Amino acid sequence: MNDRIVVIAGGLSPERDVSLRSGRRVAEDLRDAGFQAEVRDIDATLLADLQNDPPACAFPIVHGVAGEDGSLQEVLQAINVPFVGSDATSCRRSFDKAIAGSLVSAAGISIPNAIALPQAMFRDLGAGGLLDAITEKVGLPLIIKPNRGGSALGVSVVRDPAELPAAMVGAFAYGDVVLIQRYIEGTEIAVGVYDIGDGPVALPATEIVPDSGLYDYTARYTAGTTEFFTPARLEDRLLEAAAETAVTAHRVLGLRDWSRSDLVVDADGKVWFLEVNVSPGMTETSLYPQEVAASDSSIGDLLTALVKRAVARG
Residue 130-159 contact track with Mg ion, rule CB under 5 A, x = bound:
------------------------------
Hey, is 66 helix, strand or coil? helix
CB of 145 to Mg ion, least distance (A): 9
Contact 189, 264 (CB under 8 A): yes
Query: Does 29 engage in binding with Mg ion (CB under 5 A)?
Result: no
Interacting residue with ligand ADP among 91, 177, 274, 311 (CB under 6 A): 274
DSSP state for residue 22 in the 8-state scheme: H
Per-residue mark of binding to Mg ion, 248-277 (x: CB under 5 A): --------------x---------------
The helix (H) or strand (E) run that includes residue 32 is helix 16-32
Q: Select the binding partner of residue 112 from Mg ion, ligand ADP, none (C-beta < 5 to 8 A, by kind).
A: ligand ADP
Among the listed residues 96, 73, 74, the one whose alpha carbon sits nearest the alpha carbon of residue 85: 73
Task: Mark residues 150-179: x for contact with ligand ADP by CB under 6 A, - for none.
Answer: xxx--x------------------------
Asked if omega into 231 is within 30° of 0 (cis), the reply is: yes
As measured in angstroms, the least distance from the Cβ of 193 to Mg ion is: 14
Nearest to 27 by CA among 244, 234, 299, 285: 299
Contact (CB, 8 A) for 177 and 119: yes
Is the CB of 279 or the CB of 295 nearer to Mg ion? Answer: 279
Instruction: Report residue 213 CA to chain centroid gap.
Output: 20
120-127, long-range: CB within 8 Å, 24+ apart, which pairs? 122/168, 127/165, 127/168
Residue 290 · residue 283 · CB < 8 Å: no
Compare residues 155 and 292 and give the one whose CB is closer to Mg ion: 155
Q: Closer to ligand ADP by CB, 33 or 65: give it.
A: 65
Q: Which is nearer to ligand ADP, 149 or 200 (by Cβ)?
A: 149
Contact footprint for ligand ADP (CB under 6 A): 112, 143, 145, 149-152, 155, 181-184, 188, 215, 262, 264, 274-275
Contact footprint for Mg ion (CB under 5 A): 262
